[in-house]
């Protein structure tokens, strides 16, 4: 039993598990942001455009059962809106990241051009000492 707990402790202490936990927590917070954008901003705008259509009340009765297919349609619409919002957010993030990477690369190249390599400095010192 001690070996089990020791192995479990090592598993939990690994960086991968901790990184995954942080990712899950941040993902939950990000989900709240996306849900708010969809429900509080985009949803009402689409409601205005579509005349306030709400499919969730659509249903059909079969005997004593009530099939709420409108909830399914509303869930699909919400999924598509959420997917579009996520796509736009990730696309914008990637565009900003690409610009930052390009700027960083340009700065690194300029720094290399301005500052001669250590070997070149050493060769210059040798040349100057040989001239003397």
List all residues 6 or more positions away from 86 whose beta carbon is below 8 Å from its beta carbon.
34
**pLDDT at residue number 86:** 84
d(CA 79, CA 43): 12
Tell which residue, 72, 76, 77, 78, has the closest CA to residue 31: 78
Domain locations in the chain as residue ranges? 1-50, 54-132
Residue 112, pLDDT above cutoff 90: no
**pLDDT at residue number 95:** 95
Residue-wise pLDDT for 42-80, tens only, equals: 878 877 887 777 777 788 888 888 888 888 888 888 888
Residue-wise pLDDT for 13-32, tens only, equals: 776 777 888 889 998 898 88
Please check whether residue 54 is in contact with residue 75, taking contact to mean a CB–CB distance below 8 angstroms. Answer: no
Residue with the two structure tokens 């409108």: 70
d(CA 91, CA 45): 22
The β-bridge partners of 66 are 61
């Amino acid at each position: 039993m001690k070996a089990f707990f020791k192995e479990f402790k090592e598993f939990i202490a690994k960086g991968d598990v901790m990184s995954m936990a942080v990712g899950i927590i941040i993902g939950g917070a990000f989900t709240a942001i996306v849900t708010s954008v969809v429900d509080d901003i985009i949803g009402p705008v689409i409601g205005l455009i579509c005349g306030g259509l709400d499919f969730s009340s659509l249903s059909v009765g079969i005997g004593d059962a009530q099939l709420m297919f409108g909830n399914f349609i509303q869930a699909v619409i919400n999924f598509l809106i959420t997917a579009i919002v996520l796509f736009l957010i990730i696309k914008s993030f990637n565009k900003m990241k690409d610009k930052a990477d390009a700027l960083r690369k340009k700065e690194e190249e300029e720094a290399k051009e301005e500052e001669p390599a250590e070997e070149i400095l050493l060769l210059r010192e040798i040349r100057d000492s040989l001239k003397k």
